[in-house]
């Protein structure tokens, strides 16, 4: 058995910020070296951030990334971390085309370099658009330990790199990842990695990106599993973390170069000599997986915080309607940015209820955020009078006046505007374009209405358990939802009961199920017909909605692409 101390640097890079991301890697590696680590692993594309999308098509960016890697190798060495074998993933290109690459840096040099083999091209992934697949595997021997490498999707597909490493023989596998968060995804990831470790016959160190990037959020949750699938170490979700773990590795099995499972396995030897025996550090405690609502809440908080901060904003502004959606959005915003960065605006019209204003004020009081009241009656009247509006046109003008008002305050004061719509209303088109859909980010865009209520209750309970004031007024949770755009309006005038509606949407949107499947689930055919039509015709509105943190498989964003002009109806 041979000892090795490794560190997984779970970092939060900013896409395109080669300089800043290199700094993050250097700082983490220096800390790892101080902790005595011999090997450091970073996440997929840590140097560029992930995903870089069409920046791949710009030669200058590709060249800058490759140059930044060389410079990073030199700077790590200068910083006294040269003897730490550091795995850094980045964007590269060769004669064949652009590559999702990872390199092993040692004493100022790139000692090994490998390209991702499996290129995901489903859901949010478009990697066939960007990259060419790799055909080689680079195994580096350090202190007598043979370390193989796989990049992200390489562990999600059967066969290929893991099989090749298993056949060729390695003592350890490092796996840089950029695996976007989805609700309960860790239930898939960990068993999968355990299986791959068994297939490779070696421990697997899985290092994932953390942080928000547009509508994606990466949860981290980096870990090391042993060759038998046992979890040896696990980092917390939704925070930067340096996970340092001591390994005790069996060596001496047959280790060969050559072609295995169709891939060319190359071997590089840095050192054959095992490390002299040393006192291992106590194992870090395994990070406890978060509960489902805590995990979702953390994703929404991190998604919003990173979108606002990485885009150079310091504060957010949005309508406080007294309803549940704006209340939950406000609680998320305060958790993400602090109360002093959150500006709530109550914008009563002549149809607004008394409680809409008092609940909004109470929300602001509980959160300790900024709050003001700007009535919209005069502005609305100027349109309604001049254009002689009534009905839907009058309803929409109220929502649009509020949008213009928020944008004016944003222009005047520099806040980023949030849209507070939930997934249910976005799915069925129960929103006003250029009205309540105004905003640069939509925190609960991927949260169904029934889930919004659950999160509100969970967040209030969590506050209560910590002896804090529950942030969300009880009345915002319990009162029947209303857009308040005409007298005595209720959501249920236009929509089915939310519990039933969300059930159908979950099947139709998330599951891509058709009419017959929905019928088989026991839903009423007229109701299916009604919901399916609403969803189908609302495609354009969803396309215009601002981005928002994705927490499900089929969020409305880049992972769901339908034609706007489209006559297909499930109910045909």
Q: Which of residues 308-327 bind its own copies (CB under 8 A)?
A: 310-311
In the sheet where 109-115 sits, what is the strand order?
A: 109-115, 98-106, 85-93, 39-41, 2-10, 241-249
CB atoms closer than 10 angstroms to residue 353: 14
Instruction: Please name which of 326, 368, 312, 321 lies closest in space to residue 349, comparing C-alpha atoms.
Output: 321
CB contact at 8 A, 268 and 138: yes
What per-residue string of b and e applies to 218-244 under the rule 16 or more CB within 10 Å gives b? Answer: bbbbbbbbbbebeebbbbbbbeebbbb
CB contact at 8 A, 445 and 549: yes
Cα 384 to its chain centre, rounded Å, is 42
Site string for its own copies, 506-525 (x = CB under 8 A): ------xxxxxx--------
Considering beta carbons, is residue 57 or 96 the nearer one to its own copies?
57
Which of 44, 362, 394, 395 is an active site residue? 44
Which of 81, 116, 132, 199 is an active site residue? 116
Stretch that binds its own copies, among 18-26, 151-159, 445-453, 523-531 (CB under 8 A): 18-26
Q: Find the shortest distance in angstroms from Cβ 127 to its own copies.
A: 9
Task: By CB under 8 A, name the one of 169, 319, 348, 546 that touches its own copies.
Answer: 546
- Tokens 């560190």, residue located: 7
Q: Which of residues 383-422 bind its own copies (CB under 8 A)?
A: 383, 386-387, 389, 392-393, 396-397, 400-401, 403-405, 407-409, 411-412
CB contact at 8 A, 369 and 346: no
Query: Is 185 annotated to bind ligand?
Result: yes
Considering beta carbons, is residue 286 or 516 the nearer one to its own copies?
516
CB contact at 8 A, 173 and 147: yes
Q: Angle of helix 186-200 relative to helix 161-168, nearest 10 degrees? A: 30
CB contact at 8 A, 108 and 74: yes
State yes or no: is 153 an active-site residue: no
Stretch that binds its own copies, among 233-241, 262-270, 290-298, 563-571 (CB under 8 A): 563-571
Query: Is 179 annotated to bind ligand?
Result: yes
Stretch that binds its own copies, among 120-128, 184-192, 260-268, 288-296 (CB under 8 A): 120-128
State yes or no: is 116 an active-site residue: yes
Beta strands in 220-326 (DSSP E): 223-225, 231-234, 241-249, 258-260, 263-269, 316-319
Decide: is 560 part of the binding site for its own copies (CB under 8 A).
Answer: yes
State yes or no: is 152 an active-site residue: yes
**Cα four-point dihedral sign 82, 110, 278, 36:** positive
Work out the burial of residue 282: count CB atoms within 10 Å of its CB; fewer than 13 is exposed, 13-18 middle, 19 or more buried.
exposed
CB contact at 8 A, 52 and 15: yes
Token pair for residue 407?
């944008």
- Give the three-class secondary structure for 39: strand
Q: Which of residues 349-378 bind its own copies (CB under 8 A)?
A: 374, 378
Stretch that binds its own copies, among 14-22, 172-180, 239-247, 250-258 (CB under 8 A): 14-22
* Adjacent-strand bridge partners of 204: 173, 225
Stretch that binds its own copies, among 37-45, 212-220, 283-291, 357-365 (CB under 8 A): 212-220
Which of 152, 182, 423, 445 is an active site residue? 152
Q: Find the shortest distance in angstroms from Cβ 18 to its own copies.
A: 7
Considering beta carbons, is residue 236 or 557 the nearer one to its own copies?
557
Q: Find the shortest distance in angstroms from Cβ 309 to its own copies.
A: 9
Considering beta carbons, is residue 466 or 572 the nearer one to its own copies?
572
Q: Which of residues 60-119 bind its own copies (CB under 8 A)?
A: 60-61, 64
Query: Is 385 annotated to bind ligand?
Result: no
Cα 167 to Cα 259: distance, rounded to the nearest angstrom: 10
Q: Find the shortest distance in angstroms from Cβ 231 to its own copies.
A: 32
563's CB contacts (< 8 A; 6+ apart) are none
Token pair for residue 515?
């009419």
Q: Find the shortest distance in angstroms from Cβ 48 to its own copies.
A: 8
Query: Is 48 annotated to bind ligand?
Result: no
Query: Is 230 annotated to bind ligand?
Result: no
Q: Find the shortest distance in angstroms from Cβ 383 to its own copies.
A: 6
Cα 504 to Cα 508: distance, rounded to the nearest angstrom: 6
Site string for its own copies, 429-458 (x = CB under 8 A): ----xx---x-x------------------
Binding site for L-glutamine, by residue number, is 122, 179, 185
* Binding site as annotated, residues: 122, 179, 185, 319-326, 396, 420, 425, 541
Output the known binding site for deamido-NAD(+): 396, 425, 541
Q: Among all residues, which ones are annotated catalytic?
A: 44, 116, 152
């Amino acid at each position: 058995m041979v000892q090795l101390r490794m560190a997984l640097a779970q970092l939060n890079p900013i896409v395109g910020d080669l300089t800043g991301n290199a700094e993050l890697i250097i700082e983490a590696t220096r800390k790892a070296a101080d902790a005595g680590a011999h090997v450091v692993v970073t996440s997929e594309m840590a140097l560029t951030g992930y995903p870089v999308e069409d920046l791949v098509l710009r030669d200058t960016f590709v060249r800058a990334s490759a140059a930044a890697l060389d410079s990073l190798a030199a700077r790590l060495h200068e910083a006294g971390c040269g003897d730490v074998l550091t795995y850094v993933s980045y964007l590269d290109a060769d004669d064949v085309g652009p590559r999702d690459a990872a390199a092993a840096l040692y004493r100022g040099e790139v000692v090994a370099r490998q390209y991702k083999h499996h290129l995901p091209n489903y859901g949010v992934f478009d990697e066939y658009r960007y990259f060419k697949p790799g055909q080689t595997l680079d195994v580096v021997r350090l202190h007598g330990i043979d370390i193989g490498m796989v990049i992200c999707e390489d562990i999600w597909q059967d066969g290929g790199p893991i099989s090749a490493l298993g056949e060729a023989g390695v003592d350890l596998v490092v796996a840089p990842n950029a695996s976007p968060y989805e609700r309960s995804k860790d239930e898939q990831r960990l068993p999968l990695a355990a299986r791959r470790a068994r297939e490779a016959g070696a421990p697997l160190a899985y290092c994932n990106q953390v942080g928000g990037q547009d509508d994606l959020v990466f949860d981290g949750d980096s870990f090391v599993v042993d060759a038998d699938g046992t979890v040896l170490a696990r980092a917390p979700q939704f925070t930067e973390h340096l996970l340092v773990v001591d390994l005790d590795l069996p060596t001496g099995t047959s280790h060969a170069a050559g072609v295995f499972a169709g891939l060319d396995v190359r071997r590089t030897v840095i050192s054959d000599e095992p490390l002299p025996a040393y006192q291992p550090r106590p194992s870090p405690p395994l990070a406890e997986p978060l509960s489902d609502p805590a995990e979702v809440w953390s994703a929404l908080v991190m998604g919003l915080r990173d979108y606002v901060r990485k885009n150079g904003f310091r504060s957010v502004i949005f309508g406080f309607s007294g309803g549940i959606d704006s209340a939950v959005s406000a609680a998320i915003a305060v958790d993400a940015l602090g109360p002093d960065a959150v500006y709530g605006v109550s914008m009563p019209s002549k149809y607004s209820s008394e409680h809409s204003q008092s609940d909004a004020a109470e929300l602001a009081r509980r959160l300790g955020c900024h709050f003001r009241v700007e009535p919209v009656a005069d502005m609305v009247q100027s349109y309604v009078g001049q254009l002689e509006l009534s009905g839907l046109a009058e309803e929409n003008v109220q929502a649009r006046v509020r949008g213009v008002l928020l944008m004016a305050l944003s222009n005047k004061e520099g806040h980023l505007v949030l849209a507070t719509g939930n997934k249910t209303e976005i799915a069925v088109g129960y929103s006003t374009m250029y009205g309540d859909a105004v905003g640069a980010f939509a925190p609960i865009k991927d949260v169904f209405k029934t889930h919004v209520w659950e999160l509100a209750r969970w967040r209030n309970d969590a506050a209560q358990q910590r002896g804090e004031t529950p942030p969300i007024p009880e009345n915002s949770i319990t009162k029947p939802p209303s857009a308040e755009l005409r007298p005595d309006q209720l959501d249920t005038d236009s929509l089915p009961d939310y519990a039933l509606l969300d059930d159908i949407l979950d099947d139709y949107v998330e599951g891509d199920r058709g009419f017959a499947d929905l019928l088989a689930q026991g839903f009423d055919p007229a109701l299916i017909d009604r919901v399916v039509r609403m969803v189908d015709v609302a495609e354009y509105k969803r396309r215009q909605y601002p981005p928002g943190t994705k927490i499900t498989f089929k969020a409305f964003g880049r992972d769901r692409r339908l034609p706007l002009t489209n006559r297909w109806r499930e109910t045909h």
